[in-house]
């Protein structure tokens, strides 16, 4: 029988616990989190402030008290009787064992990565070879072994034979390390070769034919996730003359003759004077920095932004289009959380295969995976900071205005999906109301950054608020159990799909934690999705994670016939921990102010998501052209019809061929694309239009290749601008270049793990991809994903506040443009003509 007494006295909560057993009274002492035990006036004291929040938090923990007791003692006249709880000690042991296993695994992987492209076992081969030659009275070291033997510090304590053996081992090790460095240098040289990207199919040069087997030879051994990192080349600084020429070519179709002449003069003056000086500083940085762009890009484009990151920076990913694996919210959350944690385990153990250029053996940089989990963007008054923790055994959960900490490990093992479902259901069934100010606390992450930084520093730096905020920020990721139903459903599937996108992009503006590296959203009807913060990684990295999650959820973990997760449940699991807060009036007022800013931004976003089913990459490839180039030309045609002109167009390309590479801009609006669009719109002869179209697609592909291989335009000019700011000099040319608006911002979400999805037997398991908000107030944001051979999914966004943009009308123009381009090359355009009439009805 246990008795507990709570006494509020002198601003502290006093606890006396008595357990009657065997005729003795025992005082139990347990390590309760968020409390400090001290001995004062003969009592055990937990120094809580006198608030209902603290008492609530303490009482919820007390319900599990005797499960958490690792030891207890009895004070009697005969002495102290100490008793241990072997169950609690077992949990501590298992948790510590898991931690040590992770450390050993990291050490093992560090050794394997450190010697790549060789293997640790190759050291033994070199040693045996050297010792064998010495045994045959031959000296392969040409006297170096003897020199080492002369300088051995242990020469007095070893025999002559022992000294020779040790000297041979030292020489073998040095030779082995030299061979590793040589192989790594050779692999880096091979990976620096990019001419293969510019060669036409069937016209491969002799150099490329020799290069391919050499790359396969040096990278043939099974690599870990980060094995190639030290072998990847550094991003080169392109010649400033080449960058300026490419820039002028990109703006030629967008300005009149007078404007182009003015820009030409500005560029020439910049190259002669300030440009060469800035270029020298940039080359100096490139010599010692791993990547001369990435750190500045992360800091100045993302972390120094003071506007809301919701909509403006964060992006989203969607669930399957046609399928919801289970209608049970808790079950879907259980499998989704499990799949994400299994992916984290693979990242930690480096068991994921390194990403490669599709269809090749060329590796891509994996540095962005390092901060995928246990990462939060911390607000600052001048700049934010990305904070990453090595490990986390819990996730943060939000439901109906309450925050919870959900432990996903117990005694060192990952909970089963069924156990996580059980814990999630406990949260859903919890009837407790939000604490004052708790429900809309997340709005602080959705508003402007400076007020959030100031409030965080003042009210979340100590006490219960800091402890609860730590639970969110140090969590593996954030989970929202949304009380809405979303997806393509009901009488208005298209409209519901658009609302689904808006929900993932911003939600209610307070029910997501936008600072987390990513937040998972699980809806009431079992649909899910995620919202990702942009500064730590780009969309392909998150897309890789989400593909694995969806495939593992549906095809590996699966569900029972009644929709529950598989597995058994340990019924004595401690319940999820409700987080406590003391939120003063000033914080609540700022949360309301941030919510007002965020809500205004969210209400202004116009989203439209639609699957294009008339054809996909299968038919485009039959025309022997790039699917991406085809779609980009369709977007140029659609924008021309929608706005009556052309604009500066941003297409994201990756530079992960280089170490710590991120993105580069492909300026998709070119002179060739404009010539084609005008010709098609003017009704010129089909053959002439086909010729112009192929020229435009080839030009686009060349621009894409240049961007991928480090010869883009915008990152180079951006870094020159940063150097000018450091030096305190002004450049009219750079100022004008960097102030040009991107009225059409586009991005393709690549499908990287198609082998995880069986679209032949399960064609309904099609991913919708994801999208982002508009970059310019008077422009469009367009994301697309090419799924299989017969579908392309589009995500279009713009702002209601600009009367000349409309995401639905632009979506119709995109569909029509795609069909018109296919009609241009189709011998039987009847099917596409019929679909075109359907598009006109939608307008």
Query: Do residues 103 and 349 make contact, with C-beta atoms less than 8 angstroms apart?
Result: no
**Cβ-based burial of 368 (10 A; exposed 0-12, middle 13-18, buried ≥19):** buried
Residue with tokens 């890789």: 544
Short-list 421, 438, 441, CA closest to 429 = 421
The DSSP code sequence of 141-176 is: TTTHHHHHHHT-TTTTTS-HHHHHHHHHHHHHHHHH
**Secondary structure class of 347 (helix, strand, coil):** helix
Which residues 6+ apart lie within 8 Å of 579 measured at CB? 57, 402, 403, 404, 405, 468, 471, 472
Q: Which two tokens mark 29?
A: 């002492």
Q: Please state, in angstroms and rounded to a whole number, the distance separating the CA atoms of residues 140 and 137.
A: 10
Catalytic residue among 534, 716, 795, 808: 534
Longest dimension (CA), the chain: 108
- 604-624 burial: b if 16+ Cβ within 10 Å, else e: bbbbbbbbbebbbbebbeebe
Token pair listed for 653? 């390309």
| Residue 767: strand pairing partners | 320
Q: What is the 3-state secondary structure (H, E, C) of 367-388?
A: HHHHHCCCEEEECCCCCCEEEE
C-alpha torsion sign, points 810, 813, 819, 824: negative
Beta-bridge partner residues of 385: 378
Q: Residue 487 burial by CB count (10 A; 0-12/13-18/19+): exposed, middle or buried? A: buried
Of 442, 419, 411, 465, nearest in space to 576 by CA: 419
From the list 426, 167, 293, the residue with the least C-alpha distance to 707 is 293
| Strand, coil or helix: 92 | helix
- C-beta neighbour count of 257 within 10 angstroms: 8
Which residues sit opposite 520 in a β-bridge? 479, 530
Q: How far apart are CA 839 and CA 833, in angstroms?
A: 10
**How far from 293 is each of 290, 382, 630, 728, CA to CA, in Å?**
9, 21, 30, 19
Contact 339, 557 (CB under 8 A): yes
Tokens 């001048």 -> residue: 382
Contact 355, 224 (CB under 8 A): no
Residue pair 715/664 in contact by the 8 Å Cβ criterion: yes
**Does 762 participate in catalysis according to the annotation?**
no
User: Residue 664's closest CA among 656, 652, 674?
Assistant: 652
Which DSSP letter does residue 517 get? Answer: S
Question: Alpha carbon of 709 to those of 98, 201, 253, 576: distances in Å?
Answer: 42, 19, 25, 49
Q: What are phi and psi of 265, to 5 degrees?
A: -65, -40
Q: Which residues carry out catalysis? A: 534
């Amino acid at each position: 029988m246990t008795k507990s007494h709570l006494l509020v006295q002198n601003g502290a909560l006093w606890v006396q616990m008595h357990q009657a057993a065997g005729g003795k009274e025992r005082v139990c002492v347990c390590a309760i989190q968020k409390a400090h035990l001290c001995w004062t006036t003969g009592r055990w004291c937990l120094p809580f402030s006198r608030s209902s929040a603290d008492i609530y938090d303490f009482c919820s923990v007390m319900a599990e008290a005797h499960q958490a007791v690792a030891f207890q003692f009895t004070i009697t006249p005969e002495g102290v009787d100490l008793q241990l709880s072997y169950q609690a000690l077992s949990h501590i042991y298992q948790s510590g064992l898991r931690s040590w296993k992770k450390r050993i695994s990291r050490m093992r992987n560090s050794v394997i990565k450190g010697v790549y492209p060789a293997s640790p076992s190759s050291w033994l081969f070199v040693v045996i070879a050297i010792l064998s030659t010495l045994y045959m009275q031959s000296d392969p070291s040409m006297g170096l072994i003897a020199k080492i033997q002369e300088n051995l510090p242990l020469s007095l304590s070893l025999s002559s034979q022992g000294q020779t053996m040790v000297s041979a081992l030292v020489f073998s090790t040095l030779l082995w390390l030299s061979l590793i460095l040589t192989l790594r240098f050779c692999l880096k040289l091979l990976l620096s070769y990019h001419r293969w990207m510019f060669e036409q199919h069937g016209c491969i040069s002799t150099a490329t034919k020799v290069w391919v087997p050499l790359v396969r030879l040096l990278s043939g051994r099974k690599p870990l996730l980060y094995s190639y990192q030290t072998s990847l080349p550094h991003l080169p600084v392109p010649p400033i003359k080449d960058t300026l020429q490419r820039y002028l070519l990109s703006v030629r179709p967008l300005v009149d003759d007078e404007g182009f002449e003015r820009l030409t003069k500005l560029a020439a003056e910049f190259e002669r004077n300030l440009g060469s000086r800035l270029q020298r500083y940039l080359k100096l940085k490139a010599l010692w920095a791993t990547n001369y762009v990435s750190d500045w890009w992360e800091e100045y484009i993302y972390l120094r932004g003071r506007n809301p990151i919701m909509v403006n920076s964060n992006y989203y990913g969607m669930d399957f289009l046609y399928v919801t694996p289970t209608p049970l919210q808790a079950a879907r959350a259980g499998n989704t959380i499990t799949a994400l944690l299994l992916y984290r385990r693979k990242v930690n153990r480096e068991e994921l295969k390194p990403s490669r250029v599709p269809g090749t053996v060329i590796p891509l940089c994996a540095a962005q995976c390092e901060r995928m989990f246990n990462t939060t963007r911390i607000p600052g008054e001048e700049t934010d900071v990305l904070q990453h923790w090595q490990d986390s055994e819990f996730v943060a959960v939000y439901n109906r205005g309450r925050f919870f900490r959900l432990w996903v490990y117990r005694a060192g093992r990952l909970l089963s999906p069924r156990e996580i479902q059980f814990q999630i259901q406990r949260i859903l069934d919890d009837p407790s109301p939000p604490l004052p100010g708790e429900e809309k606390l997340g709005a602080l992450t959705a508003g402007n950054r400076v007020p959030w930084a100031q409030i965080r520093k003042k009210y979340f730096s100590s006490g219960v608020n800091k402890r609860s905020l730590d639970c969110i920020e140090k969590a593996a990721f954030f989970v929202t159990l949304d009380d809405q139903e979303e997806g393509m459903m009901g009488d208005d599937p298209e409209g519901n799909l658009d609302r689904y996108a808006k929900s993932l992009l911003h939600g209610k503006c307070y029910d997501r934690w936008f600072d987390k590296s990513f937040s998972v959203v699980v809806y009431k009807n079992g649909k899910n999705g995620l919202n990702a913060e942009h500064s730590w990684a780009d969309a392909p990295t998150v897309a890789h994670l989400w593909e694995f999650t969806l495939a593992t959820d549906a095809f590996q973990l699966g569900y029972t016939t009644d929709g529950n997760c598989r597995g058994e449940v340990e019924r004595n699991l401690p319940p999820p921990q409700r987080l406590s807060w003391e939120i003063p009036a000033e914080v609540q007022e700022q949360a309301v102010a941030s919510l007002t800013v965020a809500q205004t931004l969210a209400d202004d976003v116009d989203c439209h998501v639609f699957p294009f089913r008339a054809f996909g990459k299968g038919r485009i490839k039959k025309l022997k052209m790039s699917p991406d180039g085809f779609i980009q030309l369709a977007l140029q045609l659609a924008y021309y019809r929608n706005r009556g002109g052309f604009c500066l167009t941003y297409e994201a390309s990756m530079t992960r061929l280089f170490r710590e590479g991120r993105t580069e801009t492909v300026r998709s609006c070119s002179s060739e694309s404009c010539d084609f669009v005008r010709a098609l719109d003017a009704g010129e002869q089909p053959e002439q239009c086909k010729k112009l179209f192929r020229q435009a697609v080839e030009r686009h592909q060349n621009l894409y290749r240049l961007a991928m291989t480090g010869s883009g335009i915008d990152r180079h000019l951006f870094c020159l601008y940063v150097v000018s700011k450091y030096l305190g000099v002004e450049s009219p040319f750079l100022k004008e270049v960097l102030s040009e608006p991107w009225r059409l911002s586009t991005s393709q979400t690549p499908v990287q793990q198609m082998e995880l999805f069986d679209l032949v037997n399960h064609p309904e398991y099609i991913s919708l991809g994801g999208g982002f908000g508009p970059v310019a107030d008077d422009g469009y944001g367009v994301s697309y994903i090419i799924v299989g051979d017969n579908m392309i999914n589009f995500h279009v966004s713009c702002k209601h506040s600009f009367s000349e943009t409309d995401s639905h009308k632009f979506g119709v123009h995109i569909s029509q443009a795609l069909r018109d381009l296919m009609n241009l090359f189709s011998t039987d355009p009847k099917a596409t003509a019929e679909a075109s009439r359907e598009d006109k009805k939608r307008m």
